[in-house]
Structure 1
Amino acid sequence: MLELKSKEHIKGIRKAGRIVAACHKAIAGRIAPGVTTQEIDRFVERFMLDRGATPAQKGYKGYPFATCASVNDVVCHGFPDSVPLEAGDIVTIDMVADVDGWKADSAWTYALGRTTAAADKLMKATMLALMEGIQHAYPGRRLGDVGHAVQTRALREGFQVVTSFVGHGIGRQIHEHPTVEHRGEPGTGVILEEGMVITIEPILTAGRDDVYIAHDGWTARTRDGAWSAQFEHTVAITKEGPVILTRWE
C-alpha cells in the first residue's frame, strides 16, 4: 500500500536525511588509500549513534553491518571488510539512518586518490543520471518518466543501467511502495503524488548489466568484471517539485 506523507512526516525524514548527508560529507574527508571499509562502517555507526540516529540497515533481513560498501566491480550490497582500499579504487557507501522511526537513504561513490579517466567519467555519468531522474519527479508525472530520464542519460554518456536493482518508497520502513525503476517509457507507471517520498538510486556500469550474487548471499558483482558506480538521494514529491532530503550542506 502506498502511503502519502504529511509535511510533519517529511520533516521527520528530512531530519534523518540531514544526518545521512552529514555522514557522507564526513566520509569524504576521511576515506583514502589504506583505509578499510570496515573502519568506515564503524565510523558511520558511531556517527549516527552520537547524533541520536540508528543505522537502519544493520539487522535488516539479517544484514550484519551499518553500511554497504561496494568496491570497483561490486554493484551493491558489498560487505565492509578489512582489506585496505587502494589508490585508484572507487567505493560506494550506502547507508540508511533512522531517527524517531523515520528513515532516509543515500549512497555515494567515492574516488580513492587519483582515478582513471574512465572511472571519473563513470562516476560523473551516474551523478548526471541521478539528477536527470530527480528533475522529472514532479506531481502528475509518472515513474516511467523518471526511469526513462535516468536511462536516456546513462546511454547518452555511454553506460548501462544495472536494472536488477531499483529505488523504492521510504518512510517508516526502508522499503515501501512504489518500486522506482531506472528505466521506463514516458507516460507509464505509477503517477507521482504530493506526499510521496522515494529513493532514486541508479547504478551504472561500464560493461554489461549482468550481475551475480556472491556466496555471502548479499554482495552483487558484475559478471564481466566491469566497474560500477551509484549515487542515491531520498526525494520528497511536493507541490513545488522534488525536494532532496539527503542533500549535502
Structure 2
Amino acid sequence: MSATAQTLRPPSRLLMLMEARAINEFGAFLGALPLLSLAPRGDGHPVLVLPGLITSDTATRPLRSFLKSRGYAVSGWGQGRNYGLRPGVQDGLIDRLVEMHETHGRKVSLVGWSLGGLYARQLAKMMPERVRSVITLGSPFAGSPKATNAWRTYEAVSGQSAEDHNPQFGGAMSETPPVPTTAIFSRTDGICAWQSCVEKPGTHAENIEVQGASHCGMGHHPAIVYAVAERLAQAEGEWKPFDRNGWRAFVYPDPAR
C-alpha cells in the first residue's frame, strides 16, 4: 500500500451527517424512472448485485428491479445481511457465481456496493472466465481499511480486524481485476474516502464520478443507476470507456480533474 493510501483519512463528520440525503436520493430515483427508462436495454446476460456492510438484498432491490426491467437476469447475493467475510461467505459467493454462470450459460456481470464491490473485485480475480465485467459503487479497495467511517462497525459485526485480508480470496485488494472494470465514486461520499474508491485507469479499467452523491444512496442515485445500466449494456468483448460527451459532461465530471 502506498504512503498516500496509508495517510488517507475518513470523510469529515459533516459529510457523514449529510448521508441522510440518501432518503432524498431515493425520492429522486422514483421521480426519475421515466427518464431512466431511456437507458439502453441489456442483452439478457446475468447480473449479480452484492450489498454493502450490514445491508442485505433489500437495499439493492431498487437497483435490481430497474436492471431487471432493462432486460437482465438479475440476482441478489442471497446471504442475508452482509456482516463481513465471515466463515461460509466466500464459499457462498463462489457458489452463487458458478450457479448463475452455469444456469444461463453466459458470463456474469458483478455489481457491488461498498463492501459488496470488494467481493465483486476479488471474485473476478479468482474466476475471470466466469465474469463479464465488474462495477463498484463507492468501494474502498485502494486505501487503508480505516480510511472509512465504517471500520469500527465492520469489526463489531464481523469479529475481525478491518485490516485482515484473506490472500486466498483474490489476492491484493487494490489490484485491478482482469476483466472490464468500472469504479463509480463521489467526492461527497460520507462513509469512504473517495480517493480509496478510485481505480487505476487502464485498457479495460475506468472511473466514473457522480457529483453530490451520498454513500448510502449510491444504489438508487439516478445518475449512478443510469451509469450502471449504460455500462452493462455494452456488447461482450466490445468494452469502451464511458463517454462523457454531450449532456453527460454536466452530470459526470472528469474523474481525473
| TM-score clears 0.5 | no
Which protein is richer in helix relative to its size?
Answer: 2
- Answer 1 or 2: which has greater strand percent: 1
The normalised TM-score by structure 1 is 0.31
- Normalised TM-score (structure 2): 0.30
